Structure 1
Amino acid sequence: MEHTGDADVASAAALLAEPARAKVLMALADGRALPASLLATEAGVAPQTISSHLRKLLDGGLLQVEQSGRHRYYRLAGPEVAAAVEAVARISKPQPVKSLRQSTRAAALREARTCYDHLAGRLGVDLLEALVRRNALVRTDGGSGAERRPDDPLAQQLPDCPYALGPAAADIFGALGIDLTDTTSTRRLLRCCVDWSEQKHHLAGRLGAAVTNSLLARAWLERRPYPRAVTLTPTGEQHLSQLLPLS
C-alpha cells in the first residue's frame, strides 16, 4: 500500500524564492494565460532564461501550459496557487520603492486587482460590503459587512464562507447578467478570501468570478498596464452608484 508523506513545502518554497519565478507567478495571479515573451519582460530576464524558469514551475506543479497555434500560453495550475502567492505577499516585507512607476504600481494593486479570477483590493472589499448592504448577500455568522473574523487565516481563501444569498440576490445579480440557477459548473458558488492588503473579506468562488467577468465585459472595469491591476471606469462608477453604491 502506498503511503502519502508530509507535503513537500520546501520544494514549493524554493520555486517561489527565486525573484524571476516569483514575478512570473505574480503576473499570472489574475488567472490569465500569458506567453513566455511577455513573462520574460515582466520578470526582467532574457527569453532563454525564462524558458528554464517556466520548466521548473511546470515540473513543480505550479503552472499549466496550453498550445494555441504556434504559441504556448502559461497559467497558474489553479486558484490554490494564487492563494499561496497572496499569502506569501501578506507576510513579505515591501520592496523598496525606487521609482515613481513602482510607487504607482503598488498603489494600483492595493486599490483594485484581480486575485486569480475575482476582484480584490479596496474595490473588491467595497463591492462585497455593498452586496451585503443591498441584501444581495447576508452574513450567516452575525458579522458585519466584509469584516474579517478573529480566527480567519490571513490572506487566503477561507475553508468556510460566512455569507449566503440574500433576498435581493436575484435582482442584483440578475442586473449584472448572472444566472444564479446555472448548475453547469461544479465550482462552489460562494467563497471568500481574506484580502491581504485590506484584511477584510472579498468575494471569490464562481460568483466572485462571474461578477468580475460581468464588470469587465460591460467595460465598467478595465485592466491597467500593470499585471493584475484593474480600475473602475467612469461608466462603471455611474452604473454601480445606482445598482451597488460603494462606500
Structure 2
Amino acid sequence: MKEKGKQKYALVTGGSRGIGRAICIQLAKDSEYRILINYYSNETAAKETLKAVHDAGGQGELLPFNVTDAANVKSALDSWQETNAGAIIEVIVNNAGITQDGMFMWMKAEDWSKVIDTSLHGFFNVTNHLIQKLLVNKYGRIVNMVSVSGLKGTPGQTNYSAAKGAVIGATKALAQEVAKRNVTVNAVAPGFIATDMTQNLDEKELKKMIPANRFGTAQEVAHLVSFLASEKSGYITGDVININGGIYS
C-alpha cells in the first residue's frame, strides 16, 4: 500500500504540450498527486499546463531538465529532492519524445540519435534515477508512452519505431524485476492522436485506415494513463495497451 503522511508527486516528462499536457491535467483531476511538469525548452507552454492543472483543482510545479542528458536529469531531480525533503515521486510517466521522420536510406545520423536519445535514453535516465526509492517504498507506477509505430513499424519512422520498440521491450523486462515490490510498469501505445505532432498529417485520408474512422484525442489517452497511474491498476504490469481506434490490435 502507498505510504501515508508524505507529500506524493507524479512526474510527467514532456508535460508541456499535447498528450503530456492532457496527462498532467487528468492526473490533477483524478488523484491527490502534486504534478511535476517536466519540459526542456518551451517554458511558456509549460506555464500554460501548470495553469490548467491549477484550474482543474490540482497542484503542481515546473521541473525543467533535458531527459537526454543524464547529468542534467540527476542534478535537477536531486536538487528538487533536497528542496522537498520527505516528498515521494510515486508515479513516473515517461512521455517525452520527438519525431524526425524520413526514409531510412536518406536518414541522417543525428536524426536517428535524437529520436533514440529522447525516448529510450530519456526513459533510462529518469527511471533509473528514481526507481530505487519506489522499491524502498514498495509502491510505484511507471507508465511509458510508446506508439503503434513501436509495435507494427511505420514506414518513414524507422528511428521512431526503433526507439518505441526498445522501450516496449524495456517495459516488459523491468516489470518482471519490480513486481514483487508493488511497482507496476506498463506502456501505452497511441495510434493517430490529434496533437501538434500529427497536425501536418492528412487526417481525412488517414482516418480511412482507422476502424473508428477518426483520430483519437489527447484526453482519451490521458484517461488511460491516469488509470494505470492509480492503485486500481495494481494487477496490470508488463503490458502494452493500445489506444488507436482499432488500427492495430
Pair in the same fold by TM > 0.5: no
Which structure has the highest helix share of the two? 2
Whichever of the two has the greater Rg, that structure is 1
Give the TM-score normalised by structure 1: 0.31
